[in-house]
A and B are shown apart, each in its own frame.
Chain A
C-alpha cells in the first residue's frame, strides 16, 4: 500500500496531468531518458525508419539496421543533473528473421562544452548479443551498465549495428524500436 497525502487545488489538476504526461513523453522524468525511433536520425549507412503497421506484428516504428555493414542512428541529449552513472537498454527485434541469432551492437557517445564538434564518437560498449524468441519477438537488452556520465553540457549518443563484423551472424535487419538511458547512480 502506498500512502499518499496531497492537498491541491482542483483548478490546476488538468494542467498538471497534461504536464506530467508530456514530461514523460519528452523523456525526462529524471530517472530515464527514452529515445523512441522518431527521436533518432540516421548517421552511418542508409538505415530506414520503418513505420509501424496497425494490427500487424510490426506495430511499432523501427529503424532497420543492415546485416552486412555498419549502420547507425543518433541524437543529442543532456543528462539530468543528479546522474553520476547510467545504463543503456536497447529495445529491438530481428525484423522478421531469426537464426543465426547473433548481432553486434555498439553504443558510443561524444560530449561537448563550448568545444569543437570535430571530436568524434568514443565507444562505450560493443557487444555480441543473442536474439531471443524468434525474429519478431521484442528483445530488451542492457547494453551498458554503470557507465560514468561524461563532463559536458551536450552529449551526442549513437547506436550502431556492426553488421560486417564476423561475430554478427544474424541474417536480415535488426529492428531498433528504442533506447532507454536510465540512472544507475
Chain B
C-alpha cells in the first residue's frame, strides 16, 4: 500500500495523475456506462446500422442467423458486479415475438492474447406487442462479476437461428446499458 502525499498543488508525477483522476471518479460516481448503437461495430454476419422509424439509430440483427455487434469498455474501479440492459425493437410487424439475445465478454491484461469471447449469458425475450417500433427494455444479465483485466471486450448477439427465436423479422439493437449492481 502506498500513501500518497496530501495538500499538493501540482500534478507532477504519474502516481499523482492517477490519484487525481481517481478523485474525479469518486466525486462523480459513475453509475452506468451507456452505449448507443453508434458506439458499437459489427462483428458477426452483416448487420446494418440505420435509423429505425426515423427516430433512433439501431443495428438490425437478422431473424435467420446469428449477427452481433461489439465494443470494448473498462469498468469503474468501485464496481464489483454489473447488470446488462438492452434496448431493442422489431423493425417490421412480426407474426411471432420471441427473440434470443446473448451477452459475451472477454477480458484482457497487458501482453495477453486477444482471443475470442468466453463468458456471458443468453436470454429469450418476448416483444412487448406484436408490432414494429415499440421499445423493449430487457435485462440480459444480472449481477455479473466484473472480471479481472485492464479492458473488456463485450458482444451482444441475436441468435436468429436458435429454435427459441421465433421473431420472424429483424430486431434492431438501439442501445446497451452496463449498470453498477454492487
A interface, CB within 8 angstroms of B: 1-10, 12-23, 26-31, 38-41, 43, 74-78, 80-81, 110, 112-121, 153-154, 156
Contact = CB atoms under 8 A, between A and B. Distances in A.
Interface stretch (B60-68, B73-81, B114-122, B159-167): B73-81
A5 B7 CA distance: 8
B9 interface: yes
Contacts of A30: 28-31
A159 to B, nearest CB: 14
Interface SS of B by simple majority: mixed
A31 B24 CA distance: 11
B100 interface: no
Contacts of B33: 23, 26, 28
Contacts of B49: 41
B74 A15 contact: yes
A7 B77 contact: no
Contacts of A12: 77
Interface residues on B, range: 35 or more
Contacts of B9: 1-2
Given A10-B15, A19-B76, A113-B135, A39 B28 contact: no
A30 B29 CA distance: 7
B22 A20 contact: yes
Interface string B12-43: 00010111111111001111111111110000
A4 B25 CA distance: 13
B6 interface: yes
Given A75-B36, A113-B137, A118-B53, 9 more contacts: A6-B4, A10-B2, A17-B21, A26-B39, A75-B57, A76-B56, A114-B137, A117-B53, A156-B55
B56 to A, nearest CB: 5
A116 B134 contact: yes
A16 B20 contact: no
11 contacts: A6-B22, A20-B22, A26-B34, A29-B24, A29-B28, A74-B51, A78-B177, A114-B137, A116-B134, A118-B133, A156-B55
Contact of A75 (B8, B38, B151): B38
A19 B25 contact: yes
Contact of B3 (A7, A77, A153): A7
A14 B131 CA distance: 48
Contact of A21 (B6, B15, B21, B175): B21
Nearest to B3: A7
B174 to A, nearest CB: 6
B6 A5 contact: yes
Contacts of A117: 52-53, 55-56, 89, 133-135
B1 interface: yes
A39 B5 CA distance: 39
Contact of B23 (A6, A9, A39, A110): A6
B55 A19 contact: no
Interface in B65-122: 73-77, 87, 89
B73 A26 contact: yes
B7 to A, nearest CB: 5
Nearest to B33: A26
